[in-house]
Structure 1
Amino acid sequence: MTDVSHEDMVNHCGDMTDVSHEDLINHCGDMTDVSHEDMANHCGDMTDVSHEDMINHCGDMTDVSHEDMINHCSDMTDVSHEDMVNHCGDMTDVSHEDMVNQCGDMTDVSHEDMVNHCGDMTDVSNEDLINQCSDMTDVSHEDMVNHCGDMTDVSHEDMVNHYGDMTDVSHEDIINHYGDMTDVSHEDMVNHCGDITDVSHEDMVNHCGDLTDVSHEDMANHCGDMTDVSHGDLINHCGDITDVSHEDMANHCGDMTDVSHEDLINHCGDMTDVSHEDLINHCGDMTDVSHEDMVNHCGDMTDVSHEDIINHYGDMTDVSHEDMVNHYGDMTDVSHEDIINHYGDMTDVSHEDMVNH
């Protein structure tokens, strides 16, 4: 049927819009064991057939169950991405609304059903996904929820099975796939990702890859301005990271030495009203963290003004000596030179400033 036009098909079959799926099964029989090659021979190359033509041919599939689709299309697990493109054509310009009209609301379709339908996508390149899915930049979060359903209870293992190991996917690829997430609210992120409090740091690395070389600018583009995100929201997003080693933090954040204080404020927001207890919960017990590790994490603080320190830590007046020891560890063996390197030359800091601090 390769050279038979779509118009010829319509002339032969008529408008199939109101023909039920059951009628098609009665007419065509159970196609479960019909190979993809046989289908291609029957239908020809559908690459240039418009989505509108498909709707005219198949009708509105919104209320067709996933089971009916499996019966009609058979198990697609071993169908290559190239075959899919040949069958469906380039879907780049197909709107999300059109996809919903064709596929219906997928909210209650299980991940297992998706795997049975699409096969293991682990080795499908990001470029192929872009070609199939188009640029998602302008797709609203509401549309994503309608398409994917509430992912809250989808396990990390399921995500890996669906997307494969994302370790080597560049940040640029992520931006191209998801678009600029700057204006996506934290609530939307939780709805999309679910509560990831109990997701291990190892799982995060498997999902996100090693972020060491991702610039702060890229992070800002990805996360948006976090200034107004409450500490409670951060805990909900990151979970309790008390037991995450300093090495893991370094792997996650990279070398922060050259990150300006302004960038830190933009990333963390004004920490003035964050309690010491919250800081302990966020950073863990820093007692055994070496001064060298602190420098690697915070960078050389020599040129950071006293005002900046106040903005970062808030008024420490009511923090007990015991709290300071718990936070900084025993400073007995820290040299005067180390103190200078950490805080800078305090010679011109007034007694009033020290009291305020």
Structure 2
Amino acid sequence: MGQQQGTVRTALLAFGLTALFTALLWREWERAAADSALPWGATAAALGAYLVGCAALPAVAPLLGRAARTGACALLLVLGCGLVAAAGPQHSWITMFALAACATALPLALSLGATALVLAGVGAAALATGRTEGQLGGLVVIASVSVAVALAVRLTEANAELRRGRDQAAQLAVLRERERFSRDLHDLLGHSLTTIVVKAGAGRRILEATGDTVRAAAELRELEDLGRRSLAEVRGAVAGTRRVTLAGELLRAGAALSSAGVGLRTPAEVPSGGDEALGYAVREAVTNVVRHAGATRVEISTGPGWVEVRDDGCAEGVVPGTGLSGLERRLAERGGALTLSPSPGGGLTVRAEVPPDEDGGRP
């Protein structure tokens, strides 16, 4: 639909400009017809076909193949040069219409070559016939119009290409933002909902097994606090203001693993702040331990630009899912990498690395 509309606009513009310049040069057309060696009827028919062809070529050129466009341009140039030959070299301005039309349909180099060839032919004919008076000015006008049209067409094409590039960049930015939001939402809800399920199960088991309402109430209070934090994080993700830190995720990991009955060993000194990508790595690894590993112990170690999460669970048949794939892309965006390998004593080791100079606020 857009191409059809563009073709119609081009046709209206081409026919309008052809009609305008024909009207402005009407006196010159009359003189050319009077000087023509052809019969009046043949001259009128040739001029009509020539002008219609010049007006139609810019509109139909995009619909033609390269060979067809070149053939149409050659036909118009032959017809224009034939009219000049019939009327005399003093009417060389007639070729201006064909050259302008060809400038819209041919590559720039070919268009300029055709212009130079026509000008050389007209100049040679003027010298051969001795009708050189006023020819220089006419040839300059023809060359100027042809070059100007060719450059204007290339400028229009360049602007259209820039608009297409801008539209594609905008679409790509939207897709990237959607992917980022989807990844953030998965990282948030995957960990939070897993911890909520674990804590709710722990409270239920306490009530069913012992009836200890005090311990059950403590689990429920932690569950309530976790729900509030999760809600705040989701709102922050929607607003784009959420900040994940390595230190914060280490503290959250302790609460989640404790509720699942998994022991945790963390670095003696927990860094303040921390890299966001490494924080996500801890969150995803701990979530997977609670969900899938069946581990009893987890050890987290960290250093400048890296963090490792090791568990003693089952590492067989580990297939990276949405969370690990999203984490791998997140680290890659920071120039880092994710490594999954079996732990020496059984289980899985998840190692995330980012360049030390891209510490994102890590001290």
Q: TM-score range by the shorter chain?
A: under 0.3
Higher strand share: 2
Point out which structure has higher relative CO (alpha carbons under 8 A, 6+ apart): 1
Higher helix share: 2
Structure whose CA Rg is larger: 2
| TM-score normalised by L of structure 2 | 0.18
